[in-house]
Amino acid sequence: MNDATHDERARVSRMHNKDERVIIIAPVGQDAEAMAGLLDAEGFETQICNGSDEYSRQITDRAGALLLTEEALESPQGSLLLEALKAQPPWSELPLIILTSGDESRRAGLLDLAAVAAGTVTLLERPISTLTLVRSVQVALRSRRRQYQVRDLVTQLATLNETLEHRVRERTRELRAANKELKSEINRRKGLEGEILEISDREQQRLGQELHDGLCQHLTGVAFMARSVALRLKNHRVIEVSDIEKIAQLVNEAVTNTRNLSRALHRVDIDAAGFLTALQDLVDREIWKTPCRLEIKSPVQIDDDATASNLYRIAREAVINANKHAQAREIVVRLAGSRKARVLSVTDNGVGLPNTPNSARGLGFHIMKYRASDIGGRLEIESLKKGGTRVTCYLPNNTVKSRKKRNARPRPFSAKIVKALAALI
């Protein structure tokens, strides 16, 4: 191999071994320059370290091996060199090659001294051949490469660990948000269930009172009149035809009242096909004290049975409330549709809402609001400027499709709550 070829190979080798520099520390004579020249000629990357202020920077900055003479360890700056070696990161054990010319006891002392700060130490007795020095440096750099592999693995592991911790934090935040939402939903359901049971108790009391004060009193009057007619027949007295007609009239009235009461309590399963018919039947009932009418502003298509059922029950609850509290002259149930939404409203021209906080937040309102949210809608209640109250349910047109795509359904009410709802509806 000629000199030009050798120099070119050495240059290429140095270009690819920037992380494998051989740091040379030889404070006496020309040893540092001689070893650097020899290793440079063999294609190694070298760096001569002259001062103690360079120890820490040179050793930790991409050093592949440390080549030093025994004088470097025995000099006053040797302690600084050992401290720099001790400060290496956990993955690093920079290989040390120490040139010595002392006897066996001196070599043992050097080993003990270097072993405190370095894990891999090689002692070479001077004078040494070029081949021995080159082979020793090669072995040291091979050991250093394995350390670099460990370093890269540690770095990758740290990166993966950081990514994992980030994902864990993200999942934890998501779980906390979901848990908070779940707790809120549980509390809301508990409150709603309590309200439903309270309404059930009130409706049962109301029904008992209506049966006692209305139908029972009516039937008692019929019984007295029938008893009076029976006594007249027993005593062979003249019976007035008007008395018999009055009894028949009272019985027919009792039958009508019973039918109306039963019709109000009877649960009707509303589906999409019968939705409009059910609304018309709702406003046509004779039990309402206030006249009701139905307005359909534009064709409204309801394809989902659950949506139709909940909309009907929202309208029914609003009509019942208006009849009880509004003191209105008329109640209008209006259904309208557009490209964006379907709107169901119940409007009365009564006294409106009281000027008290949460006046529109009664038990019935919470049930209607729950029904609206269950079908993806929004419920609003407002007091009109000209007098009266309007209850409106806004239902986006894409709600039905999104409801069909949902995999998780809300947890159904308990059997006790379902029974109470059945009694109400």
pTM (whole model) above 0.75: no
Amino acid at 191: G
Out of 284-288, 322-326, 342-346, which region has the weakest mean confidence (pLDDT)?
A: 284-288
Q: What are the CA-CA distances from residue 201 to residues 91, 204, 417, 421 (Å)?
A: 75, 5, 12, 11
Out of 154-158, 328-332, 401-405, which region has the weakest mean confidence (pLDDT)?
A: 401-405
Reported as a single tens digit per residue, the pLDDT across 50-103 is: 765 566 666 656 788 989 888 888 777 777 888 888 888 888 888 989 888 877
The domains found in the chain, sorted by start residue, are 3-128 (3.40.50.2300), 267-425 (3.30.565.10)
Reported as a single tens digit per residue, the pLDDT across 106-157 is: 778 788 777 777 778 888 888 889 899 999 999 999 999 998 899 899 999 9
What span, in angstroms and rounded, lies between the C-alpha atoms of 77 and 63?
A: 19
Q: Per-residue confidence at 333, pLDDT binned at 50, 70, 90?
A: very high
**pLDDT score of 415:** 55
Indicate the Cα dihedral angle 129, 144, 86, 98, nearest 10°. 0
Amino acid at 70: E
